[in-house]
Chains A and B, each alone.
Chain A
């Protein structure tokens, strides 16, 4: 049983291409890694001598910091590159940037990019491992994995759970990755949003659709509340925000009609009073901060598995 499944991928690009067994391996490995963060010395030497580059073309603090903490707890060296301060500004292409980073003998590149497919493109052109930290509207696999890990930790299983995802489904990589991961593991997923924020043919991903928030909450074991991003122009955004909160915001009144122990998740950063009320965000159903803690274990698991697989690929090639 020990060797029944081995992780063979040098990259983690999305959850769409993963098997149920691969998903379960990431989650069980993450379970083992969670203990490391509770130690006085929060570090193991598993990736000692490896270098991880965080290559971020979009602003991100929580995901980048989470990857950085995860890599450091595995004893890897970490370098952060933000596009604002790099030669990307000078017009260098993504692949050129990637090849230059690889020429520095870097082992893992964690990439966040506003172009869907950026991570896949990078992975195809590089021998280094590539971990997708969010690409356009496509996928954000480690966020979904940490959501699923948290759910599993709270409810003991994923199979048969009813999970509702509420918010801008059309433009959400978090939603897409969650849908892939949850459905593969046997959960029943419902998406809920105003009509214009539901992408066409979403049912083909195996989910139910509703535009009624109370219906989405009624039988759900968990609700994953997505961050709503309205226009930056505050004046026009404000009425929209009020409207959204009134119709789709997760409030105590709405939760009272749901299952008593419904789990409330949010990938953060939260907009209090837009997609979720403060009362719920800070309430007993909320696992928002536990998600942040679990993010480290999940990312340690992913970094460890891709690094190990890539070493094996290199060894096979030199034999």
Chain B
């Protein structure tokens, strides 16, 4: 594993989040009926940070939920290392809400597909929009993000790693070359 390039540092990452927060508010015309749903693990932290950004702009705290998609994965039996099942923590009713689904990296689109299934099982939101910190291309499903922090064209021999203060001790996005 070779670290090839740092794409975002702490300041750039935070500026991207702030811009995405503005875009979310612009498109949804404010915070009415707006909720953030973060996909475990890093998406959950990003969703909380987006809520912080939105609070700075609008002085309104919007609800944040955490979604665990382990049980909805289509590759459950294919992965060598078993994913652990964690709790879904969505304590508010999502019916008729405008949900912003948040994840760190958009790649094949399969995670988002699973997340959509999981959300629909929880209720009938008015809309679901997708916000990602990084879009690295190579979609295998017809999925598109509404809000993108940074587009990073990559090859399949590379991986994009989003590191966050909360999980990794520092904020940065790097490209890594697989061996």
A contacts, CB < 8 Å to B: 2-3, 6-7, 25, 28-29, 31-33, 35, 39-41, 43-46, 74, 301, 304, 308-309, 311-312, 315
Contact = CB atoms under 8 A, between A and B. Distances in A.
27 contacts: A3-B81, A6-B82, A25-B84, A28-B84, A29-B84, A29-B85, A32-B68, A32-B87, A32-B88, A33-B85, A35-B87, A35-B88, A35-B89, A39-B122, A40-B122, A41-B122, A44-B72, A44-B121, A45-B71, A45-B117, A46-B70, A74-B71, A301-B85, A308-B76, A311-B76, A312-B80, A315-B78
Interface in B58-80: 68, 70-72, 76-78, 80
A7 B85 CA distance: 12
Which A-B residue pairs are the 10 nearest by beta carbons?
A311-B77, A46-B71, A44-B71, A3-B81, A32-B85, A32-B87, A6-B82, A41-B121, A29-B85, A32-B86
B123 interface: yes
Nearest to B90: A35
Binding site secondary structure of chain B:
loop
Contacts of B72: 44-46
Contacts, number: 55
A40 B82 contact: no
Contacts of B78: 315
Contacts of B84: 2, 25, 28-29
Contacts of B83: 2
Nearest to A41: B121
A301 B82 CA distance: 14
Interface string B22-34: 0000000000000
Residue from B71, B81, B117 having most chain A Cβ neighbours under 10 A: B71
A45 B80 CA distance: 20
Contacts of B123: 40
A312 B82 CA distance: 9
